[in-house]
Structure 1
């Protein structure tokens, strides 16, 4: 089936867990993890005790200045995924001089994508308010996501209203790193319904085309939107390749100069699993993008 969202097969779940456990052992020493922080008050009527939580990963080495911050949003077709699978990303970023925040958010069928985006916005709001307590600089806050998480990261970067709703105006996001992003243009994708099984995405996105457009970053980017790094697998799903290329084309037409790299031979899931290795191309570009190069050298 050639849809552009990966099916989380049991083997991939096991592999992700093994990578996470191995990484906890291998790189825990250079970082500190503050786990399961609630990013909305437990007294909030909509509080979800599992999904409204995040983890913060902090370099153990002291720094004279506040460090850049990367908030990572996981993928999983908007109906699966958990921050705990991605501890290796938090550890790797912290080891390289970045304060990392890995978040959970509610999933379908419990909620639809607008509520997921709102959860992510509230996690960003918590980060801007509290990250200095962990050595992070709220003035250098970046978003990162894989697959569905990439689409959500792009949406929060481009749609200023999502963050303004929680008191963040102007938008505090300084840029976004998109790793094989899904959902950049669901308005186009769901109108075409060209692949078998596409009806399943009506669960997280609903049946209203106006909503599909509202949650598609393609229709929110402007000349003043914060910059993007886009990484696409050379052997990923065609729809991810196509929508990412269209996203880049629109940014260029608006006068932006996005970094756009196709990684030869990479399929969709390996695009995120490669982040286990510290020196891969995504980290190399990310560290320069967020201004962490000096901190990285000091941390090694």
Structure 2
């Protein structure tokens, strides 16, 4: 997973900012509610500017509540921000979805268990407030790219992330994983196959029990919600192999996850393609969540 050193370099951030500047082409059909805190400043875990989210809603919507998708950004567990992904929120809202794009705390300030906790708290906030924005909390889905994909998978499979915050059941009804990283960090960090892999001991620490506790591979079950996995045909080998093993694990449990390999796609273009409305990820996502465009 040495690729994660390059997930959000300055060049990619520049491209994402350029896409953000062009989002006005798709902004008119949507409304953005920005910088909503999902952790109060009085909370002991509060970190200014990180535990916030943006909500995107269609400007015109009918009387029926809409499905909700919570998007989690990638960035090696040490970089990234919701502000780079407004184009995803806009595109989803344009297609009949209430989109929630979140930021969360990052390494070295915290480690991955705290990041997962932030993401869970953002989902808890969404279940409690989705109706205020026209969303249906009973149709809540998570989506993520790269490290965000691994976090989304963990939310979908590890129920205790929600029970500790007072929810009786896991509210996630499905997960869309876009070139996900970190599905099995126990395996990855035990092998240490690539130069520079020691850097991941900063976000994950040195305890194998923590590596396992933050890997969705060990929490997926027959009752886990449905998954859609999208993998770049030319992405990094660690993502290809872990995604394939995750699919196999689901299949042994009786599930049939969606699994699409996109020929020629490298890791970064797997998220950049979400600027275009009619790409295959949106097509399959809309079917999963039951969105009715127009």
TM-score by length of 1: 0.96
Once residues 215 and 259 of structure 1 are traced to their aligned partners in structure 2, the CA distance between those partners, rounded to angstroms, is: 23
Q: Could you say which residue in structure 2 is the equivalent of 1:168?
A: 167
Q: Could you say which residue in structure 1 is the equivalent of 2:115?
A: 116
Per the TM alignment, residue 40 of structure 1 is displaced from its structure 2 partner at its CA by: 1.3
Per the TM alignment, residue 44 of structure 1 is displaced from its structure 2 partner at its CA by: 1.1
Q: Is 1:238 matched up with 2:237?
A: yes
Aligned pairs (5 A) from 1:84-103:
84-103=83-102
Mapped contact 1:141–1:173 kept (Cα < 8 A): yes
Aligned pairs (5 A) from 1:1-300:
3-5=2-4, 7=6, 8-23=8-23, 25-292=24-291, 295-296=292-293, 298=294
Per the TM alignment, residue 6 of structure 1 is displaced from its structure 2 partner at its CA by: 5.1
Per the TM alignment, residue 236 of structure 1 is displaced from its structure 2 partner at its CA by: 0.2
**148-157 or 41-50: bigger deviation:** 41-50
Once residues 50 and 116 of structure 2 are traced to their aligned partners in structure 1, the CA distance between those partners, rounded to angstroms, is: 13
Once residues 45 and 76 of structure 2 are traced to their aligned partners in structure 1, the CA distance between those partners, rounded to angstroms, is: 22
Once residues 9 and 73 of structure 1 are traced to their aligned partners in structure 2, the CA distance between those partners, rounded to angstroms, is: 18
CA RMSD of aligned residues (A): 0.8
Once residues 14 and 126 of structure 2 are traced to their aligned partners in structure 1, the CA distance between those partners, rounded to angstroms, is: 30
Once residues 172 and 159 of structure 1 are traced to their aligned partners in structure 2, the CA distance between those partners, rounded to angstroms, is: 11
Once residues 134 and 10 of structure 1 are traced to their aligned partners in structure 2, the CA distance between those partners, rounded to angstroms, is: 34
Per the TM alignment, residue 30 of structure 1 is displaced from its structure 2 partner at its CA by: 0.2
Mapped contact 1:160–1:169 kept (Cα < 8 A): no
TM-score by length of 2: 0.98
Mapped contact 1:6–1:269 kept (Cα < 8 A): no
**Secondary structure of the structure 2 residue equivalent to 1:137:** strand
Once residues 210 and 38 of structure 1 are traced to their aligned partners in structure 2, the CA distance between those partners, rounded to angstroms, is: 31
Superposed CA deviations along residues 103-161 of structure 1, whole A, max 9, x for unmatched, are 00000000000000000010001000001000000000000000000000000100000
Runs of 4+ in 1 over 3 A off after TM superposition: none
Per the TM alignment, residue 43 of structure 1 is displaced from its structure 2 partner at its CA by: 1.4
Once residues 251 and 62 of structure 1 are traced to their aligned partners in structure 2, the CA distance between those partners, rounded to angstroms, is: 36
Per the TM alignment, residue 5 of structure 1 is displaced from its structure 2 partner at its CA by: 2.1
Mapped contact 1:6–1:268 kept (Cα < 8 A): no
Once residues 63 and 193 of structure 1 are traced to their aligned partners in structure 2, the CA distance between those partners, rounded to angstroms, is: 52
Once residues 5 and 169 of structure 1 are traced to their aligned partners in structure 2, the CA distance between those partners, rounded to angstroms, is: 35
**10-19 or 149-158: bigger deviation:** 10-19
